[in-house]
């Protein structure tokens, strides 16, 4: 990515308290609130998209340190059923949500964005194939969805949306971080949030298929979420999964799950130091995994004046590489079209 993904700077939060009787426990203090039903604008490379940002750890409306559907009902929900508005049907999608947040966890850091469908009037009734394009960036700290970070992955998502436009596909875009900083289990919490969000979208659009991509920790998240969706019987709806330099070091969620049935493209390199910042082959982990080692490739990336590009692809440049991005975008849309023609 164009700015260093701070994979090794993950802040682990621990909360401890004395064991006291129920009668001595203070009433829970509600956390600051945000409204995920508000429509805002996100910049995805050169594209500006309108949609819904969510600070998941800020949704604890009743202050009990758990984010559940009753909190969603009070706070509002992003438009996960893609009908153009946030309403009770969106709230119901979070019926099984249960994310523990730590005290003072709400920092108003936005961890996910869902765009409005493009074109807005697209439905399954008009016979136009629909694709949910979801990406998880590698950056693991800070308000990464509103800062200039994860730019390589953002550019790849924009590439895929442009290819979808060229193929006359309708689409919506989901952008996420690989963790929820204010959650007791930051990575596992985001796995749950994305699972619920993407499941709701696929349920709302029976004609929709899913493209899921991620870089670094975001690639671990992508493989974990794809496996969760497969466990729900949704493998036939997953058109394509792209894992870019999937790095499990310090990832605290599901590290080993790889979906069995969907096609998985695993791009990695072995040039970065320390070695834990390099991806690894995964072919033995899934039935339809294709590994490709880009260690010998010279990066084809946009250059910054005064900053020479690396001689060989590394962890920071692999998601920026124009050739790799084109390969992933082309194959993703080709596989979406393949599913739509069945």
Q: pLDDT tens digits for 205-238?
A: 999 999 999 999 999 999 999 999 999 999 999 9
pTM for this prediction: 0.87
Q: pLDDT tens digits for 3-46?
A: 433 333 333 223 333 322 223 333 444 444 456 667 788 888 88
User: Which of 47-56, 142-151, 176-185, 243-252 shows the highest mean pLDDT?
Assistant: 243-252
Distance, in Å, from the CA atom of 241 to the CA atom of 246, rounded to the nearest integer, reads 12
Per-domain residue ranges of the chain: 36-340
Q: pLDDT tens digits for 56-86?
A: 988 998 889 999 999 998 888 889 999 888 8
pLDDT of 11 reads: 31
Q: What is the mean pLDDT of the chain?
A: 85
Of 166, 163, 138, nearest in space to 152 by CA: 138
pLDDT of 103 reads: 67
Give the bridge partners for 210, in sequence order: 132, 238
With pLDDT > 90 as the criterion, what percentage of the chain qualifies?
61
Q: pLDDT tens digits for 166-216?
A: 999 999 999 999 999 889 999 999 999 999 999 999 999 999 999 999 999
Q: pLDDT tens digits for 130-147?
A: 999 999 999 776 565 665
pLDDT of 181 reads: 85
pLDDT of 141 reads: 65
Q: Among 50-59, 201-210, 289-298, whose mean pLDDT is lowest? A: 50-59
Q: pLDDT tens digits for 301-330?
A: 987 788 887 899 999 999 999 999 999 999
Q: Among 48-62, 95-109, 232-246, 272-286, whose mean pLDDT is lowest? A: 95-109
pLDDT of 92 reads: 92
Q: Which CATH number fits domain 36-340: 3.40.50.720, 3.40.50.1820, 3.30.70.1150, 3.40.630.150?
A: 3.40.50.1820
């Amino acid at each position: 990515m164009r700015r260093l993904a701070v994979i090794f700077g993950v802040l682990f939060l621990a909360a401890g308290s004395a064991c006291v009787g129920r009668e001595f426990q203070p009433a829970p203090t509600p956390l600051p609130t945000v409204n995920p039903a508000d429509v805002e604008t996100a910049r995805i490379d050169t594209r500006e998209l309108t949609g819904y940002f969510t600070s998941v750890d800020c949704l604890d409306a009743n202050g009990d340190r758990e984010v559940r559907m009753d909190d969603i009902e009070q706070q509002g929900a992003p438009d996960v059923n893609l009908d153009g508005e946030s309403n009770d049907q969106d709230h119901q999608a979070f019926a099984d949500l249960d994310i523990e947040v730590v005290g003072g966890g709400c920092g108003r850091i936005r961890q996910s964005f869902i765009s409005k469908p493009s074109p807005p009037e697209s439905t399954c009734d008009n016979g136009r194939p629909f694709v949910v394009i979801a990406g998880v960036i590698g950056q693991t700290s800070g308000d990464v969805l509103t800062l200039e970070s994860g730019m390589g992955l953002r550019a790849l998502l924009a590439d895929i949306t442009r290819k979808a436009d060229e193929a006359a596909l309708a689409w919506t875009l989901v952008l996420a971080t690989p963790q929820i900083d204010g959650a007791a289990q930051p990575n596992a919490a985001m796995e749950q949030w994305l699972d619920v969000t993407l499941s709701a979208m696929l349920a709302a659009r029976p004609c929709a298929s899913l493209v899921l991509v991620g870089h670094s920790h975001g690639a671990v998240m992508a493989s974990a979420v794809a496996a969760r969706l497969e466990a729900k019987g949704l493998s036939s709806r997953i058109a394509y999964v792209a894992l870019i330099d999937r790095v499990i070091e310090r990832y605290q969620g599901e590290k080993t799950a790889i979906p069995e049935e969907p096609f998985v493209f695993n791009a990695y390199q072995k040039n970065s130091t320390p070695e834990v910042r390099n991806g690894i082959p995964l072919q033995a982990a899934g039935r339809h995994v294709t590994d490709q080692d880009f260690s010998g490739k010279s990066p084809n990336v946009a250059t910054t004046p005064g900053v020479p590009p690396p001689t060989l692809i590394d962890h920071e440049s692999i998601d920026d590489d124009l050739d790799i991005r084109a390969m992933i975008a082309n194959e993703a849309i080709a596989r979406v079209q393949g599913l739509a023609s069945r």
